[in-house]
Chain A
Amino acid sequence: NAGVTQTPKFQVLKTGQSMTLQCAQDMNHEYMSWYRQDPGMGLRLIHYSVGAGITDQGEVPNGYNVSRSTTEDFPLRLLSAAPSQTSVYFCASSRINYGYTFGSGTRLTVV
């Protein structure tokens, strides 16, 4: 039982590049979400999903896309990286209305 697996752990991108952050969970959780964490800003919701085929926007969705084709996977795509997207990204999963299990995070730097 791996929990929530997030890759990569570190990434450096050039402005304008695109990339996908991977997130997978093996707990059969319905709910998955992506957060970014910036100093002094806490955890801000980017996108979330309550099940396969269903996604919705969170607080800061601009510049990011998601899809949920399976229960297990919830990748986050950066379309055209900008320095403002430098952050630590966390994926999380849970049963509906239960506590989250977080992935180990991806530290992204956009130069």
Chain B
Amino acid sequence: GENVEQHPSTLSVQEGDSAVIKCTYSDSASNYFPWYKQELGKRPQLIIDIRSNVGEKKDQRIAVTLNKTAKHFSLHITETQPEDSAVYFCAATTTNFGNEKLTFGTGTRLTIIP
């Protein structure tokens, strides 16, 4: 089955600096890669996603890149703000004949230092 590794497990950055979280996956059939943000005590929420036919996607201060050959994808947050502090999860989805399996990474706790 799919295995998703996520690094680092914790990350602290100064407010205004950039943060990068990296994930690798094992199943070359994975074709959809969402990122979720989970604030303390709340549910995970989708913040950005990328499909396997796209190399990069951007939404305001966040961007995701995908390297299918190397099987890794990354989340980039620029001009970080205190409200970016949360746990971030990457995930990889494999879809076969309408059957879908999504595997999460173990999460990165991002702390923005004011």
Are the chains A and B members of one assembly? yes
Interface residues in chain A, defined as those with a beta carbon under 8 Å from any beta carbon in chain B: 31, 33, 35, 40-45, 48, 50, 56, 58, 90, 96-105
> Which residue in chain B gives the minimum CB-CB distance to A99?
B46
Q: Which of B51-98 contact A (CB under 8 A)?
A: 89, 93, 95, 98
Tell whether, in the assembled complex, residue B34 and residue A97 are in contact, meaning their CB atoms are under 8 Å apart: no
Tell whether, in the assembled complex, residue A100 and residue B106 are in contact, meaning their CB atoms are under 8 Å apart: no
Number of interface residues of B (CB under 8 A): 23
Other-chain contact of B43, A44, A58, A104 (Cβ < 8 Å): A104
Chain A nearest CB, measured from B110 CB (Å): 15
Interface residues in chain B, defined as those with a beta carbon under 8 Å from any beta carbon in chain A: 31-32, 34, 36, 42-46, 49, 89, 93, 95, 98-107
Asked, given contacts A45-B102, A50-B99, A56-B99, whether A99 binds B43 with beta carbons under 8 Å apart, the answer is no
A interface SS class: strand
Q: Which residues of B contact A35 (CB under 8 A)?
A: 104
Q: Which residues of B contact A101 (CB under 8 A)?
A: 46
Tell whether, in the assembled complex, residue B44 and residue A103 are in contact, meaning their CB atoms are under 8 Å apart: no
Asked, given contacts A97-B32, A97-B93, A97-B95, whether A90 binds B43 with beta carbons under 8 Å apart, the answer is yes
Chain B nearest CB, measured from A51 CB (Å): 8
Other-chain contact of A97, B45, B100, B103 (Cβ < 8 Å): B100
Chain A nearest CB, measured from B82 CB (Å): 23
Tell whether, in the assembled complex, residue B43 and residue A96 are in contact, meaning their CB atoms are under 8 Å apart: no
Tell whether, in the assembled complex, residue A99 and residue B105 are in contact, meaning their CB atoms are under 8 Å apart: no
Asked, given contacts A45-B102, A90-B43, A105-B43, whether A99 binds B49 with beta carbons under 8 Å apart, the answer is yes
Other-chain contact of A100, B46, B95, B101 (Cβ < 8 Å): B46
Other-chain contact of B106, A40, A56, A96, A103 (Cβ < 8 Å): A40
Q: Which residues of A contact B46 (CB under 8 A)?
A: 99-101
Chain A nearest CB, measured from B92 CB (Å): 12
Q: Which residues of B contact A96 (CB under 8 A)?
A: 95, 98, 100
A97 to B45, CA, bound (A): 16
A97 to B31, CA, bound (A): 8
